[in-house]
Amino acid sequence: MTGEVSSARAPAADVPGRQSRLAASMLLALAGWLVLALLLSVPVVYHSRYIVYLGTLLALQAALAVSLNIVLGFAGQFALSQSAFFGFGAYASALLIRDLDVGFWTSLPLTALLTSVLAVAVGYPAMRFTGGIHLALITFAFGELLRLVTANLHELTGGPQGMQLVYTPGVVLGVDFGSTRGLYCLATGFLLLCLLISILVRRSDFGRALFAIRDDETLATSLGIDVTAHKVAAFTLASTLAALAGAIYAVFTSFISPEMMNASDSIALVGMLIVGGLGTTPGPILGTLIFVGLPEFLRVAKNYRLVLLGIIIVVMALYSPKGIAGAVNRLMTGTRRSGA
């Protein structure tokens, strides 16, 4: 404590240290982007259907984690409806295409529009009067409700047996997005879009306000920030991106079922963020690689995966509350402040 006080009192002596810290974190960020580029190029170089398939799945899963990070990591709002909106997006897009005869690409903005209306309708009452555990319960209940409704609307959705989809995105600008590789490009492009949005949000006034809300809602209100509007906006953005991921997932697998909306998937996403680093930029991607990628490569049976992940979450929560991204950052840049 005394060390912190004296360093705060004598910032001039601290400047060289701060500069090297800044340089280290920039190098780290650069290394991170290089690794990501390398990972994303593997399925393009490798001529294996399996690798391309896995890459597409991981990209979509990572996009879900990146978008959840905006509401859970930045704004600190415990929303458990990410997979419900993922499924909603898949069904919305599929039904628009099947019943209203719109094309795949047209269905995307329409799905986004429908989802944002739904997200505001769910998010506003949940975040206006309550927060914390109540929000978790309300979003959890909403997700389950959506899943049951989808499973019971047999005529529209095909019920629990799901829907077989017969459409493909087709050829755009010379790229066949219906092919395995084209779908991989679509999923990767969407992941990069989510990352870009998340980085822009983080650097904007809006993003700073979200971090402020996470730290102290009352103080944020007292400084003129409309806390409810910000929380609902973050929730709506995250849910809309999840729905778009769902629409792409639908065309990728050609089959959707109410199981896409399973709440356990939403909870697993929260786990990915905790392991990777809540609120950090690389966190959601690291978490996805460990949660989904690693077990796939190690061929661990699905049941053991959850045991393994449970252990990882407990260890991370105890020893590195900021996840892997936080731990790496601390090691590389030598930042010792636990709170910063």
Partner 1 sequence: MLRLTNISHRFGGLEVLRNVEFSVAEGELLGLIGPNGAGKTTLFNVITGFVRPGAGRIFFQDRDVTGYPTHRLARLGLVRTFQGARSFHNLSVEDCLRVARYRRVGDSERDRELERVVRLLDLEEFATEAASSLPAGLARLLGIAMALSTGARLLLLDEPAAGLSAGETDVLQQSIRRLQQAGVTVVVVDHNLHFLMNLVSRAIVLDAGRLIADGPPATVTAEPRVIEAYIGGRDLAGD
Q: Residues in the site for partner 1, rule: CB under 8 A?
A: 4-5, 7-9, 11-12, 18, 205, 208-209, 211-212, 214-216, 218-227, 279, 337, 339-340
Minimum distance between the CB of residue 220 and partner 1, rounded to whole angstroms?
7
Question: Of 112 and 220, which has the nearer Cβ to partner 1?
Answer: 220
The answer to whether 255 and 246 are in contact (CB under 8 A) is no
- Collapsing DSSP states into helix, strand and coil, what is residue 325? helix
Minimum distance between the CB of residue 218 and partner 1, rounded to whole angstroms?
8
Question: Of 147 and 322, which has the nearer Cβ to partner 1?
Answer: 322
- The C-alpha atoms of residue 210 and residue 38 are separated, in whole angstroms, by 32
Question: Of 147 and 214, which has the nearer Cβ to partner 1?
Answer: 214
Question: Of 174 and 339, which has the nearer Cβ to partner 1?
Answer: 339
- The C-alpha atoms of residue 215 and residue 139 are separated, in whole angstroms, by 22
Minimum distance between the CB of residue 271 and partner 1, rounded to whole angstroms?
22
Nearest residue to 333 (alpha-carbon basis) of 35, 34, 28, 31: 28
Minimum distance between the CB of residue 302 and partner 1, rounded to whole angstroms?
36
Minimum distance between the CB of residue 227 and partner 1, rounded to whole angstroms?
7
- The C-alpha atoms of residue 245 and residue 190 are separated, in whole angstroms, by 8
Minimum distance between the CB of residue 320 and partner 1, rounded to whole angstroms?
16
- Collapsing DSSP states into helix, strand and coil, what is residue 26? helix
- Tell me the two tokens of residue 279: 């609120």
The answer to whether 321 and 340 are in contact (CB under 8 A) is no
Minimum distance between the CB of residue 1 and partner 1, rounded to whole angstroms?
9
- The C-alpha atoms of residue 230 and residue 173 are separated, in whole angstroms, by 38
Question: Of 11 and 174, which has the nearer Cβ to partner 1?
Answer: 11
Question: Of 96 and 278, which has the nearer Cβ to partner 1?
Answer: 278
- The C-alpha atoms of residue 318 and residue 312 are separated, in whole angstroms, by 10
Torsion angle in degrees (nearest 10) through CA of 212, 213, 217, 220: 50
Within 10 angstroms of residue 54's Cβ, the number of other Cβ atoms is: 18
Q: What angle do CA 177, 179, 181 make, to 5 degrees?
A: 85
- Collapsing DSSP states into helix, strand and coil, what is residue 256? strand
Minimum distance between the CB of residue 225 and partner 1, rounded to whole angstroms?
6
Question: Of 55 and 277, which has the nearer Cβ to partner 1?
Answer: 277
Question: Of 109 and 226, which has the nearer Cβ to partner 1?
Answer: 226
- The C-alpha atoms of residue 26 and residue 141 are separated, in whole angstroms, by 42
